Amino acid sequence: MEYVKTADNGRPDMRVNIGSLQLENPVMTASGTFGYAREFENLMNLHRLGAVIVKGISLHPRQGNPPPRIVETACGMLNAIGLQNVGVDRFIAEKMNYLAGLNVPVIVNILGDSIAEYEEITVRLQGVPGVAGIEVNISCPNVKKGGVAFGTDPKMAASVTAAVKARSKVPVMVKLSPNVSDIGAVALAVQDGGADSVSLINTLIGMAIDLKTRKPALANVIGGLSGPAIKPVALRMVYEVAKKVSIPIIGIGGIETAEDALEFMLAGATAVQVGTANFINPRASEDVVDGITAYLMKEKLPSIRSIIGQLELS
């Protein structure tokens, strides 16, 4: 894909490619932090996003976990929402029409308890107008293999990826779990499985305790940590994965500002996802787009792509 050096209007070229997926800019919304986008329509200009990644979809509707589901921690939050969603059929019937009308690529995050479930969701999403890509959440437990998360075993991660990839005509992004000892190995396995890109990191498993009641702060006892607290871990993992894989990387973890996003891109990310920040500032992702543009103009850089992987180690 050839790009002109700057856009016609003289502003920096913000376009990036995630495999065959062409984005107007590198800023996406992270799954589970942006609903089905419509929730934000009066609060920001949705058309200015690089892509929208919607709340994770399972084959059947899920009720989610009992409350309390969230608790704030230092510079972050723990959540145990429990993957509450309307299920793939209702998602297609009720949510996709609106999403397809947006002028941005829509990437559908999918999750399942078995490879067959991932396959079935993928099949049902094929040919649905507006679905530009699939993000595979491999952090959920494989019920058939005794609850081990797909994302923690490179072989299983590769199998899920290959299964989805075999049934998808749209690009497949695989979202990696940070709760592993060697994320590079999982990333490589996923690349070998045929992934078009990897996104990382999902939340870090954590816990909070209420000393007064001596109970866990979350009804689910443990939950996923997100927010600025996890950014250093996420940056390190993007940096490590960038050394291992050749497919594009999408950086996620505590990104609130353009500076955060640019750091991830220096570490090797082609694009980023804004997550928890959407809860605090519904306009956060648009602010990141503006901030990156301003940075490129200030640094007199014609294209965002000149930043990717340009970390200076010495």
Partner 1 sequence: MSQYQENATVTRIEQLSEKNYRLTFESPMIAAATKPGQFVMIRTSIGKDPLLRRPFSVHQVLNNGLIQIYFKEVGRGTGILGHAKVGEKFSLFGPLGRGFRLSKDKPAIIVGGGLGIAPLLLLLKENCRLKKNCDQDLVILGGRNREEVEPLLTDFKKYGVTVRTSTDDGSLGHHGYVTEILKSIPLVDGCTVYACGPEAMMSRVAGICAEAQIACQVSVESVMACGMGACLGCSRPDNTGSYTHVCLNGPVFDAEKLQWNM
**CA-closest candidate to residue 304, choices 290, 292, 288, 291:** 292
Is residue 122 within 8 Å of residue 110, measured between CB atoms? Answer: yes
Binding test (CB under 8 A) with partner 1, winner from 4, 280, 294, 297: 280
Binding test (CB under 8 A) with partner 1, winner from 43, 93, 148, 294: 43
**Least separation, in Å, of the C-beta of 100 and partner 1?**
20
Can you read off the two tokens belonging to residue 10?
């003289």
Is residue 13 within 8 Å of residue 302, measured between CB atoms? Answer: yes
68 counts as binding partner 1 under rule CB under 8 A: yes
87 counts as binding partner 1 under rule CB under 8 A: no
- Peptide bond before residue 201 is cis, with ω within 30 degrees of 0: yes
Distance CA 160, CA 22 (A): 24
Is residue 201 within 8 Å of residue 178, measured between CB atoms? Answer: yes
22 counts as binding partner 1 under rule CB under 8 A: no
Size of the site for partner 1 (CB under 8 A): 36
Based on the residue annotation, tell me whether 75 is a catalytic residue of this protein.
Answer: no
39 counts as binding partner 1 under rule CB under 8 A: yes
Residues between 129 and 168 with contacts to partner 1, criterion CB under 8 A? none
**CA-closest candidate to residue 227, choices 32, 83, 72:** 72
Q: Which residue has the tokens 């998602």?
A: 91
**Least separation, in Å, of the C-beta of 38 and partner 1?**
9
Binding test (CB under 8 A) with partner 1, winner from 1, 2, 10, 63: 63
289 counts as binding partner 1 under rule CB under 8 A: no
Neighbours of 232 (CB within 10 A): 12
**Which listed range, 109-117, 151-159, 277-285, 302-310, lies at the site for partner 1 (CB under 8 A)?**
277-285
**Least separation, in Å, of the C-beta of 119 and partner 1?**
26
257 counts as binding partner 1 under rule CB under 8 A: no
Distance CA 204, CA 194 (A): 25
93 counts as binding partner 1 under rule CB under 8 A: no
**Catalytic-labelled residue, pool 52, 140, 235, 307:** 140
**Least separation, in Å, of the C-beta of 226 and partner 1?**
10
Q: Which strand (E) or helix (H) includes residue 234?
A: helix 231-244
Residues between 187 and 246 with contacts to partner 1, criterion CB under 8 A? 227-228
Give the C-alpha distances (Å, rounded to integers) separating 90 from 61, 66, 124.
8, 22, 11
**CA-closest candidate to residue 271, choices 287, 282, 284, 255:** 255
Could you list the residues that contact partner 1 (CB under 8 A)? 32-35, 39-40, 42-43, 55, 63-72, 74-77, 79, 81, 84, 227-228, 256, 276, 278-283
Catalytic residue ranges = 140
